[in-house]
A = this chain, B = another copy of it.
Amino acid sequence: MRFEKGHKEQTRQRIVETAARRFRKEGLEAVGIAGLMADAGLTHGGFYAHFASKEHLVRAALNEALDQNQTRRAKALEQAPSGPEALEALVRLYLRPAHRDTPERGCAVATLIAEVARHEQETRAVLSARLASLLNQIASTLPAEMTADEKERRAIGIFGVMLGTLQMARVVTDMALSDRILESGLVTALTISNAVASQQL
């Protein structure tokens, strides 16, 4: 049947949003086109009217998921756009138990980075670009006296801790340890922002 104008775009968006959720929850490989389309209320044959391949959907879904999170962080930064409070807001948002417990709505970098690293260059480029702007968001909260290089270095360290500790908190089977990991990540990330750089290198 022929549908109203804009219907296709709307359907495409529904597929992308469904994929963005399921990819984060189950992984890129674990999600099949047929099941995904069924989830979106469609049959699998129509998929290729929207995307050239599953890989193209992966890129669209990564962009969708990472864009959602970026917007959420931007909102969190509205109250305190820079300074230690701004950084603390970002880190607390990231290392919340609620974020740990709902990967399907959370940061796609944390759930998919290793899997994406095995994909085509073009797919990695999508995640790379979003990662760069995430690092910029963090760097923007650091003291204005710091050089751009120093900000970049610290932003990488800070997000490294956030990413690594969130993943650890998700995998460990001891929930008390999981909570301590989140707390340690928080303390560490904030420490990095204002620690005096080590002189031992």
A interface residues (Cβ-Cβ under 8 A, vs B): 25-27, 29-30, 84, 88, 103, 110-118, 121, 124-125, 127-128, 131-132, 152-154, 156-157, 159-165, 167-168, 170-174, 177, 180-181, 183-198, 200-201
- Given A128-B174, A173-B128, A157 contacting B153 (CB threshold 8 A): no
- Given A118-B26, A168-B163, A196-B195, A184 contacting B111 (CB threshold 8 A): no
- Given A171-B127, A172-B128, A192-B192, A118 contacting B27 (CB threshold 8 A): yes
Closest 6 CB pairs of A and B: A157-B188, A160-B164, A164-B164, A163-B164, A195-B195, A29-B29
Which one of B121, B160, B191, B201 lies within 8 Å of A185 (CB-CB)? B160
Assess the B118–A115 pair: CB atoms within 8 A. no
Q: Which residue on chain B has the smallest CB distance to residue A30?
A: B29
Q: Which residue on chain B has the smallest CB distance to residue A153?
A: B184
Which one of B84, B131, B189 lies within 8 Å of A168 (CB-CB)? B131
Assess the B131–A172 pair: CB atoms within 8 A. yes
Query: A26-B118, A160-B161 given. 14 additional CB < 8 A pairs?
Result: A27-B115, A88-B200, A111-B114, A114-B170, A125-B173, A128-B171, A157-B184, A159-B168, A160-B181, A163-B163, A164-B165, A187-B201, A190-B198, A191-B197
How many monomers of this protein are in the complex? 2
Which residues of B have CB within 8 Å of A193?
198
CA A157 to CA B157, docked complex, whole Å: 10
- Within the complex, the shortest CB–CB distance from A89 to chain B, in Å, comes to 12
Which residues of B have CB within 8 Å of A162?
160, 164
User: Which of A163, A184, A185 lies at the interface centre, i.e. has the most chain B CB atoms within 10 A of its CB?
Assistant: A184
CA A170 to CA B117, docked complex, whole Å: 6
Assess the B110–A114 pair: CB atoms within 8 A. yes
- Within the complex, the shortest CB–CB distance from A94 to chain B, in Å, comes to 11
